[in-house]
Amino acid sequence: MRTSTLSLLAALGLLGALTNCAATAEKEQSNHTAGASVATLAAPAAIPPAPATDSVTSPAVPLVDSTGAARSAPDARAGVLATEGAGARAPSAREASAERTREKKLTNAECRQMLATADAALKRSPKDPAALLQRAKAKSYLHEYPAAQLDYSAALRYQRNNPDAYYNRGVNHLMMKRYKAAAADFAGALRYRPDDKESFFGRGVAKMQMLQYKPAVADFTRAIQLDSAYADAWEYRGISYASFDKLPEARRDLERATDLNPNAAKSLRRYVGNDGKEPIKATPIRAPRPTAGRP
């Protein structure tokens, strides 16, 4: 297996989560430039998240908290966590996953509104970890990764037990190709939320990028144990298996991933043959040994 090809594909499932605002921005810019005559044509998007999610655009830009309710604060639930400190309840893994799914659908305008709201909150309270986290996420979504990194670190300085800050800083590290730091941050997220399948997946992606395929398999396995329908984890575990010649296991995982998400068929074809129907490796045919001629 060629590691250069593998490295190119390894992080796309997770990293797509941070291309949402950029993808929507392309659509908005395309529609604005093209005019009304081509308003019904879809603009090309950036790297899509895996599994694919539909982009959501909205003419209005509501201020919403992590529960989806309209709020004036950058994130009401995160604000409670910041105010109450170490004793406060962090969102559960399921709640955090749902919030990430919602944030994948933010438009570019909503990301900028998120940034402006956090800026306003930080003018009132410069050490508010919830506002720092919201501003960091907004900057990440807008591809301002170095600036986001400063805010994530500040949020963790004022609240060291927030798994969401660790998780999002881990993703930001991935975007900056700082894979060792990313793995450490996903481990930090798991310290405070040990049943977070996406943190296991993220750490697995970081390990893949460092060519640590066997440890990556272990993380993807934990993600699958937490959610047996986690298509991305099946797919990337299959790719990891293929990288160290566990080809039957790779086929099994990639076929399962394809059942859950038809887009995984591309990986199935790439790593184990034509939709898994062809032999993984052809059995070598040895030429017959020459025999001595009879006199």
- Report the pLDDT averaged over residues 70-84: 39
Return the DSSP state at 200.
H
Say if 257 falls within a structural domain.
yes
- 222 with 80, same domain: the answer is no
Greater confidence (152 vs 63) lies with 152
* CA 37/CA 43 separation, integer angstroms: 14
- 199 with 268, same domain: the answer is no
For 241, the domain range is 212-279
**Tell me: the pLDDT tens digits for 167-181?**
999 999 999 999 999
- 203 with 221, same domain: the answer is no
Contacting residues for 182 by C-beta, under 8 A, at least 6 apart: 170, 171, 173, 174, 202, 203, 205, 206
Residue 147 clears pLDDT 60, i.e. is over it: yes
Q: In this predicted structure, what is the pLDDT of residue 218?
A: 98
Distances (CA, A) of 257 to 140, 184, 202, 262: 28, 27, 17, 8
Say if 12 falls within a structural domain.
yes
User: What single string gives the DSSP state of each residue in 91-104?
Assistant: PPHHHHHHHHHHHH
- 220 with 201, same domain: the answer is no
pTM over 0.85: no
Which of 166, 184, 210 is the C-terminal boundary of a domain? 210
Of the pLDDT bands very low, low, confident and very high (cuts 50, 70, 90), residue 152 is: very high
Q: In this predicted structure, what is the pLDDT of residue 82?
A: 41
- 66 with 107, same domain: the answer is yes
Q: In this predicted structure, what is the pLDDT of residue 274?
A: 56
Q: In this predicted structure, what is the pLDDT of residue 90?
A: 81
Say if 264 falls within a structural domain.
yes
Contacting residues for 167 by C-beta, under 8 A, at least 6 apart: 96, 185, 186, 189, 196, 198, 199, 202
Residue 18 clears pLDDT 70, i.e. is over it: no
CATH number at residue 261: 1.25.40.10
- 220 with 131, same domain: the answer is no
